[in-house]
């Protein structure tokens, strides 16, 4: 049996309700000795599978520690309790609405912030006048910690979707703006001059030479922005909301529901990772096309 | 496509200084030159003698010069549409195919059907038809330089400016490219100004060779001499008349002729 098969078998048995036995984990780890992995690691699917090993080990450690009752159930509930909390929330119909509203806020805020970041990044990166006029201001706004916006946004837009989406958009704006702005400063001047020499200028030059040249920067900006969007989502929902994963965090804290609290953290990790992976796939394709 | 006898370049007292914060360095000074339509001119000179600076002034890539540059009797404009340039490096867009890169050179507003046919024709001319869908990183340096030449020709320029276009190529590819340039010129008759540091290249290709050197009177380089190779093209590099001219050119560049080469 290969390590991959063992890992997969391991993964199939890692639902919190039926944690794997420690012996199985030990075997899986032992077979991935350095001599094998140097060649084996490059095979298709091996690397992602190996990435699950440490989380699985942590899960087992969590289960062992909880079972040994080192901490109280309020401090650290066992994996099973977290799983049951999830089942409970699903049965009440709350879990999907918490996830749904949070994902919606992140995607909306991220979309708005990213589009504005691209527009401002492009204009300030290309026009010296706009650069001189606006870059100092944006630099100062960027220095404002995210939470400082919250009271003002609530005052202006009340506690609703608008204020939360706006806060997330602010968070997503700056990484996109900054990377695009910086990327445009570093477009190969030889290529830009060649474009100009063949009569390209203004938007046509931007579309033909500068924009394709900064595709990699745009995507690294977008990935940073997406991470920021999740960060700002929790900030927004922690402070003022009645739904969403951030609300689930505060609500569970207030009610002493550590199981739900841990569930919310795990869900944030999983959702953040999924959205980042999707964007990463798009990035890979775009970079293959535009470099 | 033929511009014979329709265009000419005139430089009158052209100078160029570069500098910041009041400290300025004169690169070119007092350049007077007339180029007839259809001529192939080589600009030759030691490194730093302002060859590229002069070429850039002719094409309007740099309009910070003093004096006058006229094309067809009117002053050169910034990035003058009457000129097309082949740079020292191919400067192809890495994300675009060879076809798309050549199409960059087409004049703005070229109808799509004309554009496709014209690019295909140019790729054929420079022998890149089979590499039409390749990206720049998938082709050799010589092919990239040919694509760059095709892009310049796509503009159907009155003046073709080439900045050491073959300098980075291996000897064999360079010979092929020189032949290609002569073939293209025979077809189109485009006035061509080429910067080179290769004396033999200048001797084989040019109607006239402009030698730039430090001005004896003032700071900056100026035209020290203009040589006219005697024989019509194609020329053999061992032609005795060319051998004499080569020595004169090398002497002008500050290279002592070898004793053995003095027949």
Tokens 């049965």 correspond to what residue?
Answer: A91
Q: Is pLDDT of B261 > 50?
A: no
Chain B residues closer than 8 Å to A207 by CB: none
Burial of B247 (0-12, 13-18, 19+ CB in 10 A): middle
Q: Is pLDDT of B152 > 80?
A: yes
CB pair distance less than 8 Å for B93 and A208: yes
User: B158 CB contacts (<8 Å, ≥6 apart)?
Assistant: B3, B6, B7, B37, B71, B72, B82, B83, B190, B191
Among A167-176, B36-45, B163-172, B250-259, which stretch is predicted with the lowest mean pLDDT?
B250-259
CA distance A41 to chain B (A): 29
Provide the pLDDT for residue B3: 43
Question: Phi/psi at B257 (nearest 5 deg)?
Answer: -65, 145
pLDDT (tens digit per residue) in A78-132 = 888 889 999 998 998 888 999 999 999 999 999 999 999 999 999 999 888 999 9
Provide the pLDDT for residue A151: 85
**Any long-range contacts for A154-163 (C-beta under 8 Å, 24+ apart)?**
A154/A239, A154/A240, A159/A240, A159/A241, A161/A105, A163/A236, A163/A240
Provide the pLDDT for residue A174: 94
- The residue among A119 and A238 whose pLDDT is bigger is A119
Stretch B186-205: mean pLDDT, rounded?
Answer: 92
Nearest to A193 among B61, B84, B155 (CB): B61
Q: Is pLDDT of A37 > 60?
A: no
| Mutation for testing the A interface, residue in B95, B100, B107, B161 having most A CBs under 10 Å | B95
Mean model confidence pLDDT for chain B: 88
- ipTM associated with this complex: 0.87
Chain A residues closer than 8 Å to B93 by CB: 191, 208-209, 212
Q: Is pLDDT of A177 > 90?
A: yes
| Pairwise CA distance, residues A291 & A287, whole Å | 6
Q: Is pLDDT of A34 > 80?
A: no
Provide the pLDDT for residue B167: 84
Provide the pLDDT for residue B258: 62
Q: Is pLDDT of B92 > 80?
A: yes
Asked whether B92 and B105 are in contact (CB, 8 A), the reply is no
Q: Is pLDDT of A270 > 90?
A: yes
Stretch A188-214: mean pLDDT, rounded?
Answer: 94
| Domain extents in chain A | 3-70, 91-290
Stretch B184-208: mean pLDDT, rounded?
Answer: 92
Which residues face B163 on adjacent strands?
A: B195
| Pairwise CA distance, residues A141 & B31, whole Å | 53
Nearest to A198 among B94, B96, B155 (CB): B155
pLDDT (tens digit per residue) in B9-44 = 999 999 999 987 778 889 999 999 999 999 999 999
Q: Which chain B residue lies closest to A188 (C-alpha atoms)?
A: B91
Question: Phi/psi at A178 (nearest 5 deg)?
Answer: -65, -45
Residues in B lying within 8 Å of A, measured between beta carbons? 59, 61, 79, 81, 84-85, 87, 89, 91, 93-96, 104-105, 107-108, 151, 155
* Closest to A257 (Cα-Cα) out of A50, A12, A21, A81: A81
CB pair distance less than 8 Å for A197 and B85: yes
Q: Is pLDDT of A1 > 60?
A: no
N-term to C-term CA, chain A: 41
Provide the pLDDT for residue A7: 44
Q: Is pLDDT of A40 > 90?
A: no
Provide the pLDDT for residue A43: 82
Q: Rounded to the nearest 5 degrees, what angle is found at the Cα of A172, between the Cα atoms of A166 and A175? A: 145
Burial of B51 (0-12, 13-18, 19+ CB in 10 A): buried
Provide the pLDDT for residue B262: 43
Q: Which chain B residue lies closest to A212 (C-alpha atoms)?
A: B95
> Is domain A91-290 annotated with CATH 1.10.3720.10?
yes
Provide the pLDDT for residue B119: 95
Q: Is pLDDT of A72 > 80?
A: yes
Percent of chain A having pLDDT more than 90? 52
CA distance B149 to chain A (A): 12
Chain A residues closer than 8 Å to B84 by CB: 197-198
Provide the pLDDT for residue A118: 94
Which residues face B9 on adjacent strands?
A: B35, B71
Annotation: CATH topology of B1-82+157-258: Rossmann fold (3.40.50)
Alpha helices, H only, A127-205? 128-142, 149-157, 161-185, 189-197, 202-205
pLDDT (tens digit per residue) in A2-25 = 444 444 444 444 444 444 444 444
| Mutation for testing the B interface, residue in A188, A197, A213 having most B CBs under 10 Å | A197
Stretch A62-84: mean pLDDT, rounded?
Answer: 88
N-term to C-term CA, chain B: 44
| Pairwise CA distance, residues B84 & B80, whole Å | 8
User: Of how many residues is chain B composed?
Assistant: 263
Provide the pLDDT for residue A155: 86
| Pairwise CA distance, residues B168 & B180, whole Å | 16
| Pairwise CA distance, residues B21 & B218, whole Å | 22
Provide the pLDDT for residue A46: 85
| Domain extents in chain B | 1-82+157-258, 88-155
């Amino acid at each position: 049996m290969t390590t991959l098969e063992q890992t997969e078998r391991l993964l199939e048995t890692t639902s919190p309700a039926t944690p794997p036995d420690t012996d199985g984990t030990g075997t899986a780890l032992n077979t991935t000795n350095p001599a094998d992995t140097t060649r084996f690691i490059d095979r298709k699917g091996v690397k992602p599978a190996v990435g699950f090993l440490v989380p699985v080990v942590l899960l087992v450690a969590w289960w062992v520690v909880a079972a040994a009752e080192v901490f109280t159930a309020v401090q650290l509930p066992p994996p099973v309790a977290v799983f049951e909390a999830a089942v409970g929330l699903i049965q009440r119909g709350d879990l999907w609405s918490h996830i749904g509203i949070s994902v919606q806020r992140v995607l909306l805020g991220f979309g708005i912030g990213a589009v504005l970041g691209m527009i401002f990044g492009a204009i300030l990166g290309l026009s010296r006048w706009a650069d001189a006029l606006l870059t100092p201001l944006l630099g100062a706004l960027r220095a404002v910690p995210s939470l400082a916006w919250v009271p003002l946004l609530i005052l202006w837009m009340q506690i609703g979707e608008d204020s939360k989406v706006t806060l997330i958009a602010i968070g997503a704006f700056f990484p996109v703006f900054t990377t695009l702005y910086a990327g445009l400063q570093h477009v190969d001047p030889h290529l830009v001059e060649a474009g100009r020499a063949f009569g390209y200028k203004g938007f046509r030059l931007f579309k033909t030479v500068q924009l394709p040249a900064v595709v990699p920067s745009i995507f690294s900006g977008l990935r940073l922005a997406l991470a920021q969007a999740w960060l700002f989502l929790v900030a927004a929902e922690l402070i003022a909301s009645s739904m969403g994963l951030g609300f689930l965090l505060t609500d569970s804290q207030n009610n002493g529901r550590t199981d739900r609290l841990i569930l919310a953290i795990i869900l944030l990790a999983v959702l953040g990772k999924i959205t980042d992976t999707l964007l990463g796939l798009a990035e890979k394709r775009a970079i293959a096309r535009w470099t | 496509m033929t511009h014979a006898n329709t265009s000419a370049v005139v430089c009158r007292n052209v100078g160029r200084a570069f500098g910041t914060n009041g400290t300025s360095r004169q690169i070119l000074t007092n350049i007077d030159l007339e180029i007839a339509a259809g001529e192939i001119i080589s600009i030759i000179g030691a490194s730093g003698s302002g060859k590229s600076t002069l070429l850039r002034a002719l094409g309007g890539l740099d309009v910070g010069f003093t004096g006058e540059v006229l094309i067809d009797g009117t002053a050169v404009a910034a990035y003058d549409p009457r000129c097309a340039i082949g740079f020292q490096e191919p400067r192809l867009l890495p994300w675009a195919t060879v076809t798309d890169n050549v199409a960059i050179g087409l004049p703005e507003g070229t109808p799509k059907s004309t554009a496709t046919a014209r690019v295909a024709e140019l790729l054929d001319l420079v022998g890149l038809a089979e590499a039409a869908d390749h990206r720049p990183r998938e082709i050799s340096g010589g092919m990239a330089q040919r694509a760059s030449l095709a892009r310049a020709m796509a503009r159907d320029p009155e003046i073709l400016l080439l900045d050491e276009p073959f300098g980075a190529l291996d000897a064999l590819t360079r010979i092929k490219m020189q032949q290609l340039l002569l073939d293209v010129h025979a077809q189109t008759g485009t006035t061509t100004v080429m910067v080179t540091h290769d004396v033999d290249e200048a001797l084989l290709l040019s109607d006239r060779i402009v030698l730039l050197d430090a001005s004896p009177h003032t700071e900056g380089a100026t035209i020290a001499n203009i040589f006219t190779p005697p024989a019509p093209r194609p020329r053999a590099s061992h032609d005795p008349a060319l051998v004499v001219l080569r020595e004169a050119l090398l002497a002008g560049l500050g290279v002592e002729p070898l004793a053995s080469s003095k027949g």
